[in-house]
Structure 1
Amino acid sequence: MPSEASLQQFADRYALRDLVDAYAHCADVNDFRGQAALYAENGRVAVYTGDPDTNEPVQVLTGRDEIESGITATLQDFEQTFHFNGQSTVLTLSGNQATGESYCIAHMVANVAGERTLTAMTIRYRDTFARVDGRWLFAERLLIIGYTDRRPLVA
């Protein structure tokens, strides 16, 4: 029989993966307010185009309002986005704090001056999570861009 502690850890790990997936879902349905609500009130996003251990972020957003504005500015001009989440690993889990890392490939379709383009981007997230009022939220999300491929959309 599993212990209560092991059942709680399983539930927490499931909730953390659900949070990661909810983030991608909100992006793809243009629910930018909902996406920002997945962060703690004073949550933080830092965007990197290189190794965060050796490079400075190209963008930092702090607090839900700023995060929502930043997400909106980044995604609102795309006709369609499709975020495909890959592996997601909880690295540490202790009480109301956790860390993790997840991978994503984002596909984004834009129409600029009548020409449609497809941008594919690999993203690795380093996350710090906090349980707030019984709900897991992002406390900090490092968004690390791997590569970006932009080309005319043929279909």
Structure 2
Amino acid sequence: MRELFDAYAHCADRRDAEGQKALFTADTRFAVYMDGEGTEPTYVLEGREALTPVFADLNRYETTTHFNGQSTVTIDGDRATGESYTIAHHLFTEDGNRMIMVASLRYLDTFAKIDGSWYFAERNLVLDWSETRPSSP
């Protein structure tokens, strides 16, 4: 699973939306919770092809760096569940000023093993906190 987590972050930082989508099952569910304490998702996408605009949205940043931290995974045959943590850095320019947005993310995942490979069957992205501030060049 660690390879799957890291491939997701790598594709995000390299702006490889197609590679990122390939990590998901065709019938995947992807939900985003912008309020870490909330119980209702901000939005939900169904199916691998619906992920394209979300992953392409990273193009608005000049660069991103996602650092994956601790994770827990429970495997039950060809299914698994897990939680992983990421600190994501997003650099951008606003009104001529270089800015950085740092976000603490948690992913609550359900995985499916298909033909010997693991995929995200469901991914819930939870934003625990974020900070936006000026960044030095």
Alignment TM class, shorter chain as reference: over 0.9
Q: Work out the CA distance in 2 between the residues paired with 1:133 and 1:69.
A: 28
**Larger proportion of helix:** 1
Q: Work out the CA distance in 2 between the residues paired with 1:100 and 1:128.
A: 7
The answer to whether the Cα contact below 8 Å between 2:104 and 2:127 also exists between their aligned partners in 1 is: yes
Which residue identity lines up with residue 87 of structure 1 in the other structure? Q
Which residue of structure 2 aligns with residue 87 of structure 1? 70
Q: Work out the CA distance in 2 between the residues paired with 1:62 and 1:70.
A: 12
Which residue of structure 2 aligns with residue 56 of structure 1? 40
The answer to whether the Cα contact below 8 Å between 1:44 and 1:67 also exists between their aligned partners in 2 is: no
Taking structure 1 as the reference length, the TM-score comes to 0.84
1:1-155 correspondence to structure 2 within 5 Å: 16-51=1-36, 55-73=39-57, 75-90=58-73, 92-155=74-137
**Larger proportion of strand:** 2
Shift of 1:49: 2.3
Number of paired residues?
137
Shift of 1:51: 4.6
Taking structure 2 as the reference length, the TM-score comes to 0.94
Deviation per residue, 1:51-89 (Å, 9 max, x gap): 57x52100111111111222212x111000000000011
The answer to whether the Cα contact below 8 Å between 1:87 and 1:102 also exists between their aligned partners in 2 is: yes
RMSD across aligned positions (CA): 1.3
Q: Work out the CA distance in 2 between the residues paired with 1:71 and 1:18.
A: 19
Segments of 5+ residues of structure 1 without an aligned counterpart are: 1-15
